[in-house]
Structure formats: structure tokens, C-alpha cells
Amino acid sequence: MLRCFSLLVLLAVSAAPQAQTIPPAGSDDTFDVATWNIEWFGSSQFGPSNESLQQANVADVIAQSEVDVWALQEIASSSAFDDLLGALGPDWAGMRAPSGADQRLAFVYREDAVQVFSLEEIEEGMDSFDFAGRLPYQLHVQADTNTELYILTVHMKAGDTSSDYSRRVNASQQLKAYTDDLLAGGAGVVILGDLNDELLESISGNPFSPYANFLADDDYAFLTEPFDQPGDSDDENTYCAFYDDCEGSFASVIDHIILSQNVVPDYLDGSVGRYTALLDAFDAFGGEFVDTTSDHLPVFAQFSYSAVANEPDVAGRVFGLGAPYPNPFTDAATLSYTLDRTGPVRLELFDALGRRMSVIEDEARPAGTYRVRFNGDALPPGLYVVRLTAGDQVATRRLVRGT
């Protein structure tokens, strides 16, 4: 569990006492991520009946897990989510997705573990119907000094009908088209979520998984694929309906972690796992995990990223435009800039003749460091200049569009 600094300040208040001991899934010297469907978290109509107990249990798991970034699904209540952040204390921050009705996506993370550039719902190229109203939610972070990651969480359409299957297939295709574009720009991608289907074949009876497109592409790796192999014992399941021990013929592997291949070298081989230690921990405490907390077990993985250097305080920030990456670029580049004061900012692109080709950003922003993904696939090859203007301050960088 790394310790560094975040640029995005979100909700966090006083810590609550912990009720039980949870064995950690992460560690102090690794960067750890997890996905968890917290069964109707905060709903008074569905899921575990004791909302306050579910709230306390979830806070205990996250606080003691030593996992740095949690991708969450089925966050039914904004107030329950705010209370969770309050219980975790000032070291934690997070945000719940703006759409998704009462089954929204969310991220929770340690503020000293990642430098956060943005947290947003992805709409472009996505059909909300295919995603059951729960559009992909993306956390863009600096994981170490050399690594930017786009961490996405999804909660695909549930059900075993042919229509449910088709919607998962469509959503998978849309998701992959988006992440393929990220990879083309050199980004690292981590997908965490409840995919509501298996990998060898579909729960609908179709011989092909809805995620065959990811499985067949060497640019991606399913860390959770070993959990879904013929002949495996039931103790590798992640969905625990009807079984307090998450075992049995009705349980299945539907919670998954997908990596882009450029991230795989930083993955600690063999570290992926489902959080089975929770079953014994909750049993020892006198309450069954499924009855009190969730019908899904968290799934986690560890990476070997080193800590990101702390950013200075706002007063010590230096105005400037960072080096574009990649440069030269083909289709897209990531631009970074730092503001030392709050106010209007404009980011523009000019060609070698001084003609303005694009206004990339033009709005007021608080002091801080920002990342902008620029799509330049329509530009002809050649030399360009990026200009950052904030009040009377101006900074420029050269940017090359390659062939």
C-alpha cells in the first residue's frame, strides 16, 4: 500500500472505531487495487437488512485491507457513501458516479497512494442501455513517477436471457473500443468490475463469453481467468448467492480484473485473489459475510509501483506546461499543465504557420496540476505548438504529429 499525494480533494471526515479484525489483502510496499460489488449498499429495500451493520462491516474491510484503490459497484445511497468516507477518515477520498440510479459505481482510494488527475463517467461511444444505465466510471491516476493508469470500473447487465447476453456483448465491444484508443496513446489500462458473466462460456448457455473480444486480443490479460477453468473446485467463486461460504453449484466467477499488456510487467505474479479471508473473519465475529455484508467477495491484485513524489502545496506550485506524451504522437497525446492560482485558463494548439487549429480547454480552474487527452488524428503530420494562457502567464511546448 503505497503512500504518496493526491491532487483531487474529495469527501473525508472523522474516523470511526473498528469493530473487528480483517486480515489485509495488500501491503505497505505494493500498489494494490480491488473490485467489490457491495450488494445494494445503503438500500433499505434490498440487500442485507441491517444497513448500519453493513456500513460498519464495509468500512472495516476497506480500512484494514491495505488496498489502495477500491472500485465499487451497487452503491445505492449517496448518504451511505458519504458516511462510508467519513468512517474511513481523512486519509481516504472517493466519489460516486453521477448516473446509475440506485446501483451506481464508485471509487474509494487512499489520498496518499495515488496522484489523481480526473474521475469521470465515460459517455462517448457508450450506449447506456447496453450498460444497464451504469456507464463506465474512470479514475485517471499517476501510479508512480513513470506510470499513468486509467482505472475503469464497470457493472455489466445481469441476467441469463439472450437479451441480457446481447447487451453484455454490445457493452464489451464499446468498452474495448474505448480502451483500445487509450492503448494507442500509450496509456496503461486496468478494468475492475462485476462483469455478470463467466469467461469459458456464458451463463446464458452461449458457448462464447461476452468478453471473448478481450480474451482473444493479446493486448489484454484477464488476471481472473485462472479462477474460471474446468475442473476447478468451487472455492474460486466470486459470486456467493445462496451460499454463506461462497461455494456450491449456484456460485460463479463474475467479478474480474483485466489489464492491458503494458501494465502486466508491473503486476506481481500470482497476487490476484478473491478475499476469502473475509469469510473466516466474519464467521469468527459471529455473523455470516453474505447475510450481513455482500453476496460478492472482493477480488484484488498487487503491483510493484514505487511511490510518487509529493506535490508542493498550492503556494509552492509553479505555473507551467509539461512535456506532451507521447511526442511525436500519431492519434492522441496527453498534455499536462500546472496552475499556481485560481482563474481562467486557455489551452490552444497552433500549426507551424501560427494558425490556431484547436482550443483544447477554455475555462476557470483552481490551482493544481491537470492532464488533458488531446485527439489529433485529423491533423496532418508536422510541427505544432501548444500554448497555455492563464491571466498574464503564458507557456508553450512543441508537439509533433508523426506519420
Residue 197: what pLDDT?
94
Give 255-307 pLDDT, tens digit per residue: 999 999 999 999 999 999 989 899 888 876 556 888 899 999 999 999 998 65
Q: Are 337 and 369 in contact (CB under 8 A)?
A: yes
Of 384, 367, 266, give the one whose Cα is nearest residue 333.
Answer: 384
Residue 291: what pLDDT?
87
Residue 244: what pLDDT?
43
Q: Are 33 and 66 in contact (CB under 8 A)?
A: no
Distance, CA of 3 to CA of 308 (rounded, Å):
8
Burial per residue of 109-133, b for 16 or more beta-carbon CB atoms within 10 angstroms, e otherwise: bbbbbbbbbebebbeeebeeebbbe
Residue numbers in the chain where pLDDT is lower than 50 = 3-18, 231-235, 241-245, 248-250, 309-314
The total number of residues shown for the chain amounts to 403
Cα 394 vs. chain centroid, distance in angstroms? Answer: 34
Residue 143: what pLDDT?
81
Backbone angles phi, psi at 218, to 5 degrees: -65, -10
